[in-house]
Each structure stands twice: as C-alpha cells, then as structure tokens.
Amino acid sequence: MDVLDRPFREQFDVFLDEHRRVLDSCLEGLTEEQARRSLVPSRTTLLGLVKHATFVEKVWFDEAVTCRSRAEIGIPDTPDESFVLDDEDTIASVRQAYREACEASREAASNLELDDLVRGNRRGPLPLRWVYLHLLRELAQHGGHADILREQILSD
C-alpha cells in the first residue's frame, strides 16, 4: 500500500502492520521443532521471537495505555523472560496470541492521537508517536533476526 501522501498516523499504522506480518509469517511452513530450534547462545528462537513480540505489543499498547501492571496483564516482568517457551507453546497458539495482541493494540491506539501521552510505561509519560517509533524499531530488528534464523533453519 502506497502511503507516501497519507497522514503520518496512517503511515505509521501501515508500516507497523507490515512489520507485524513479517514476524507472524516467519513461522509459516515450519515444524514445531524448527520453530523452537536454538541457533544462538541467547533464548532467541523463531517461536520465541513471536512470543516476545506478543509481550512487546502488550507492554506498549496495554500496560502503557491502560496503566495496568504486567502481573494484571499476565505477561513476564522482563523482556528476557518473554522469550521463554513453555511446553504448551505451539506455532498455532503463539501465532494466535500474537494476532490477538496486535488487534488489541490497534484497538487501544485507535482513539489516540500521535501527540497523546501514554502514562503506564516504566519510563514515564510518552507520546504515542514515540511508542510507534520504538515499536517500529523493535519489530524491524526482530524481523531481521527472524529472516536470518529462518534462512539457517531452511538451509539444513
């Protein structure tokens, strides 16, 4: 979708959704073993990246917007913990949770303007514009990680 001449908010939304789709699609066609395969010393796996992205959505569009605590939301306290996979985590369940988190994020931000402050983040009040930029940076970084991991997995 060409959004060059569209309002900034629409541009942000389109770019953000594009990065969300990249992460969601990184699991397509993989086996459960491939999705969980660890290729680096950290906890980073393809399934873990998407699970972490779900955490990120909830931090920025639930915690920051609603001011609910991470415990109330039901997410880990730290980003590192969000990569941890449980036995019940599957490609289908993690993708579904991510899609639901993305939809909840869209809904939470729908009535906000880019200069509106979100007050529930640990850094203090931040404009929604900053949240969008931060999320774009984070999802782009993780999308790159996912591309590399997927390439390595599929080349075996």
Residues 68, 74, 76, 77, Cα dihedral to 10°? 30
How high does pLDDT run on average in the chain? 95
For 137-155, how does the pLDDT look when each residue is reduced to its tens digit (9 = 90+)?
999 999 999 999 999 999 9
Identify the helix (H) or strand (E) that includes residue 102. helix 91-109
Q: Is the pLDDT of residue 127 over 80?
A: yes
Number of neighbours of residue 57 by Cβ within 10 angstroms = 24
Report pLDDT for 41. Answer: 93
Q: pLDDT category, 37, cuts 50, 70, 90?
A: very high
Q: pLDDT category, 4, cuts 50, 70, 90?
A: confident
**What is the model's pTM?**
0.95
Helix (H, G, I), strand (E, B) or coil at 123: coil
Report pLDDT for 2. Answer: 85
Report pLDDT for 46. Answer: 98
Print burial letters for 38-50: b (CB count within 10 Å at least 16), e (below 16): eeeeebbbbbbbb
For 6-27, how does the pLDDT look when each residue is reduced to its tens digit (9 = 90+)?
998 999 999 999 999 999 999 9
Report pLDDT for 27. Answer: 98
CA dist., res. 132 & res. 86, Å (int): 29
Report pLDDT for 25. Answer: 97
Number of neighbours of residue 95 by Cβ within 10 angstroms = 21
